């Protein structure tokens, strides 16, 4: 299991927000044919590189049969983070592996509803179903 922390730095108005509020914590675990990415905190442009690096595992044999994005502890998701998940899903459809998204709570969940991205992804509410 690997963990990556990524802080965003200063807020747009120049003030510093506490690091724990602007941080993505990415935990990557592989069990059998499943690659699990657990995202905690905020998934925005600053965190895309870390998630894409974790997804580089898909370029190695044997390719996992399933990729799970566990977003239960995600507080914030922007379009860059959503685009990364959608690209992984499109790749899964093309290369015959399944992508499952464990639904985030609160405002992060609204992104999937407002963009209708949740209609094209396999979204579940609990880890027991994946």
Report the domain count for the chain: 1
What tokens does 89 get?
């899903």
Q: Which range marks the domain in which residue 44 is found? A: 2-129
What pTM did the predictor assign?
A: 0.82
Phi (first) and psi of residue 124, to 5 degrees: -130, 160
Distance, in Å, from the CA atom of 119 to the CA atom of 101, rounded to the nearest integer, reads: 12
> How does pLDDT run along the chain (130 residues), one tens digit per residue?
555 555 444 333 333 344 445 699 999 999 999 999 999 999 999 999 999 999 999 998 888 999 999 999 999 999 999 999 999 999 999 999 999 999 999 899 999 999 999 999 999 998 666 6
């Amino acid at each position: 299991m690997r963990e990556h922390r990524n802080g965003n730095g200063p807020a747009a108005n120049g003030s510093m927000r506490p690091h724990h509020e602007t941080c993505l914590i990415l935990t990557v675990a592989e069990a059998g044919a499943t690659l699990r990415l657990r995202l905690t905190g905020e998934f925005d442009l600053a965190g895309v590189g870390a998630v894409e690096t974790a997804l580089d595992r898909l370029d190695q044999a044997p390719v996992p049969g399933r990729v799970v994005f566990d977003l239960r502890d995600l507080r914030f998701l922007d379009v860059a983070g959503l685009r990364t998940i959608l690209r992984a899903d499109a790749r899964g459809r093309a290369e015959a592996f399944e992508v499952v998204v464990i639904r985030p709570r609160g405002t992060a969940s609204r992104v999937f509803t407002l963009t209708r991205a949740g209609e094209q992804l396999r979204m579940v509410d609990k880890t027991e179903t994946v």
